[in-house]
Structure 1
Amino acid sequence: MFPELAAHIIDAIHVSDGEAVYITGGAHQQEFLEEIGIQVAKKGGQPFISAVSNDYQKRLLETCSVDQFKRTPKILKGALEAMDKYIVIEPYSDPSIKTSFREKLQARSEGMYPILQIIYSKPGKPWIYMGWATEGMAKMYDVPLDVLERLVIGGCNIDYKKLRADCEHVMSILDGARRVHVTDKHGTDFWLDIEGRRLNPDDATWSPEKEASGDVGGNLPAGEVFVAPVETHGEGTIYCPVTIDDLTRSVLIRGARLYFKDGMLVPEKCTAEEGQEVLRDTLSKFVEVDMQKYGAPNALKVAELGIGLNPVIDRSIGYILTDEKIGGSVHVAFGMSEGYGGAIMSNMHWDFVTAPSETVEVEYRDGSKKLLMKDGILQ
């Protein structure tokens, strides 16, 4: 299946003759990374592959000090400045190894600040982030491996023509909208202002129009339409059945209820049935980093409203890359929004995905309204 998956990546990022393409992932994916490199070369590109083992990454976390992690990696920075395009395959075969290193991961987030700027600040670099499925990941997300493979790999092998049509339908309803109101039976009830903001289809398809608009990044599996809302507006409650700690990407948080007002999360009003302490501590740590780097608590600012559309992905497990593509779900992210139509730079971008049963009402500038989704079904 590697050639077909690699072809999806090459099509989505549109490699051209002479372009330098940085390809990175875990050593357990070496064969797949090399297949991507070969297909880059077939397009006339210059592939560069970087891969290390899960064990090496764990030993590095054990060995390096907090101060070491705060330093920006010079070689990586130089390589990313030189590259034209960036491909990342989920790098950890067992992400749970990061659980015990919260302070060091916070420091690494600080050190990686210039790297984030290279990739995501304007004009940025075209990028693709693809998920993966391993026994270690399946254990961490508490699902059988075949289920994870169906969500990740099956979620990539879909009818892209149908996905593009669904994206176009959603965008046609959101076009010209002033406000979006989302509700469900689990207590989700919020509104966001998207007036004047760019609509982004995540359909794994490159186009000159996308690139010209600044839409240069995407995920595999694909399957959503997303927009960066107005950062100073919006209020309400989001119920998220399961998410994962955005600092370590290794601790599941269940039954989260997020409250935000004037476009800002209110951490002391954010709760969780399981993992509440981790939820609040992670928000606090990213606020600390953002205050140092940007002079404002940008991690708390609303960053994204997304509508899930992937026909294969049908259950949430905490793996945000797939959860946010669930058909019938909506997700709201906080933190970074620069790069796809927003104005916020942050070291955090944390998505909170609702249950797949949302009702979404769109209000236009003239006061008229239209139903985009009813109980998780597109209208």
Structure 2
Amino acid sequence: MIDPAMFPKLAENILNLLNVRDGEAIFISGGIHEQGFLEEIGIQVARRGAEPFIHSVSNDFQKRMLETYTVDQYRRTPKIMKGVTESMDAYVIIEPYFDPSIKSFYREKMQARSDGMFPIMQIIYGEPGKRWVYMGWATEPMAKMYGVPVEILEKLVIGGCNIDYGRLMVDCEYLRKVLDGGRYVHATDPYGTDFKLNIEGRRLNLDDGLWSAEKEAEGNKGGNLPAGEVFVAPVETFGEGRIYCPLTIDDLTRGIIIKGVTLEFKDGTLIPEKCTADTNESVLRDTLEKMVELDIKKYGAPNALKVAELGIGLNPVIDRAIGYILTDEKIGGSVHVAFGRSDMYGGNVQSNMHWDFVTSPEITLEVEYKNGDKKLIMKDGKLQY
């Protein structure tokens, strides 16, 4: 159990990233097992002159709703939630499930829920969008699902939030300068990863855990905690190669671990029939199929297969992959590539999916500039200053 004595500092980290302003309405959401922390956030929001609104439910209620709601009900956009989202100025969500594995038994309903919630996601992450923070959490059932002791999960999530943000800002700014003006990035590792992407002219996003007027002005209105990456939306029609991801979690339910994933893509597009996994390959393929189905329905194109993100992890505390993408993608010395939605941070693709695949932490990454010069960014997972 996370020590309540840490709540004030963790809440302060959230508000530093959110930049709460006098008179604003802040929607705070999570599970009832986090109630004390949610209320601490609310108190700190009130101290800044804003209005907190807290919404929390139990894991039992979430499970019973999954059992009770029909697929058609999940496909409808929730009217009350849509109204709240339109009214709020900013959104805070703390990992809501005490036991996320309950979602793994309701794949069809989770697909329908993704469909129904999409208009709400557009209000938050589309244009003009809302300011937002998504923070992780640690519970015994979560740790069991990820196959680690709860102390390790807490170290990765809570320890990953309690870092030197000044140092992280320096590392993020260094990477921004190195990538600025770059055309291609090339990544390789000892496990078969070998891909090339085009980032020319694309916005460079700094996830340093701190709000800035510059980031908000360019449309970067939110962030995750733990923080710690620099990311960019590559050109969607370019890029090819192979990515080896030791483990990830099913993007549809966030409740099933998939291990030993190998992805192949060409012209910026995943080739599903060449995507494999050592465990739960059927889940990998089924999720891609379901998300493509949703995107064809909405956009007339399989947008879920488009390359969406190149990210470079920089968090100094997070040192291992467990399948929890929120922390895995921040591993210092790792690279991740996502497929699906990219319009919320500088790309051009809308999709119901944004699925990150994190490489081994032994990646080598090189940037090539417009004039043909090259610079080594990372060698065997070590940042090259």
Fold in common (TM above 0.5)? yes
Q: Structure 1 CA distance, aligned partners of 2:291 and 2:321? A: 25
Q: Structure 2 CA distance, aligned partners of 1:231 and 1:374? A: 26
Q: Does 1:106 align with 2:111?
A: yes
Match of 1:206, SS state, is coil
Structure 1, unaligned runs of 5 or more: none
Q: Could you list the per-position Cα deviations for residues 243-275 of structure 1 after superposition, in whole angstroms to 9, with x for gaps in the alignment? A: 000000000000000111101111100000001
Q: Could you list the per-position Cα deviations for residues 82-140 of structure 1 after superposition, in whole angstroms to 9, with x for gaps in the alignment? A: 00001010000100111110001101111111111101111111110000000010000
Contact 1:122/1:338, CA 8 A, preserved across alignment? no
- Pick aligned residue for 1:364 from 365, 369, 383: 369
Letter in 1 for 2:104: T
- Pick aligned residue for 1:149 from 154, 159, 174: 154
- Pick aligned residue for 1:167 from 158, 162, 172: 172
Counterpart of 2:61 in structure 1 is: 56
Q: Structure 1 CA distance, aligned partners of 2:18 and 2:362? A: 32
Counterpart of 1:269 in structure 2 is: 274
Counterpart of 2:3 in structure 1 is: none
- Pick aligned residue for 2:136 from 131, 136, 139: 131
Q: Could you list the per-position Cα deviations for residues 200-236 of structure 1 after superposition, in whole angstroms to 9, with x for gaps in the alignment? A: 0100110111111111110000000000001110001
Q: Could you list the per-position Cα deviations for residues 38-85 of structure 1 after superposition, in whole angstroms to 9, with x for gaps in the alignment? A: 101111111111101111001000001110000000000000000000
Match of 1:274, SS state, is coil
Match of 1:112, SS state, is helix
Q: Structure 2 CA distance, aligned partners of 1:290 and 1:118? A: 18
Counterpart of 2:102 in structure 1 is: 97
Q: Structure 2 CA distance, aligned partners of 1:142 and 1:266? A: 30
Match of 1:321, SS state, is helix
Letter in 1 for 2:269: M
Pairwise CA distance, 1:372 = 0.5
Counterpart of 1:24 in structure 2 is: 29
Counterpart of 2:123 in structure 1 is: 118
Counterpart of 1:254 in structure 2 is: 259
- Over aligned residue pairs, what C-alpha RMSD do you find? 0.5
Letter in 2 for 1:102: R
TM-score, normalized by length of structure 1? 0.99
- Pick aligned residue for 2:353 from 342, 348, 352: 348
- Pick aligned residue for 2:206 from 176, 201, 205: 201
Counterpart of 1:45 in structure 2 is: 50
- Pick aligned residue for 1:241 from 246, 251, 275: 246
Letter in 1 for 2:74: F
Letter in 2 for 1:66: V
Q: Could you list the per-position Cα deviations for residues 17-44 of structure 1 after superposition, in whole angstroms to 9, with x for gaps in the alignment? A: 0111111000100010000011011111
Match of 2:231, SS state, is strand
Q: Structure 2 CA distance, aligned partners of 1:236 and 1:134? A: 37
Q: Structure 1 CA distance, aligned partners of 2:298 and 2:33? A: 34
Contact 1:184/1:357, CA 8 A, preserved across alignment? yes
Q: Could you list the per-position Cα deviations for residues 128-155 of structure 1 after superposition, in whole angstroms to 9, with x for gaps in the alignment? A: 0000000010000000000000000000
Q: Structure 2 CA distance, aligned partners of 1:204 and 1:195? A: 25
Q: Structure 2 CA distance, aligned partners of 1:328 and 1:279? A: 25
Q: Does 1:312 align with 2:317?
A: yes
Percent identity over the alignment?
70
Q: Structure 1 CA distance, aligned partners of 2:212 and 2:93? A: 20
Q: How many residues align?
A: 379
Contact 1:22/1:86, CA 8 A, preserved across alignment? yes
Q: Structure 2 CA distance, aligned partners of 1:106 and 1:339? A: 21
Letter in 2 for 1:317: I
- Pick aligned residue for 1:187 from 188, 192, 195: 192
TM-score, normalized by length of structure 2? 0.98
Contact 1:128/1:220, CA 8 A, preserved across alignment? yes
- Pick aligned residue for 2:87 from 77, 82, 87: 82
Q: Structure 2 CA distance, aligned partners of 1:189 and 1:122? A: 34
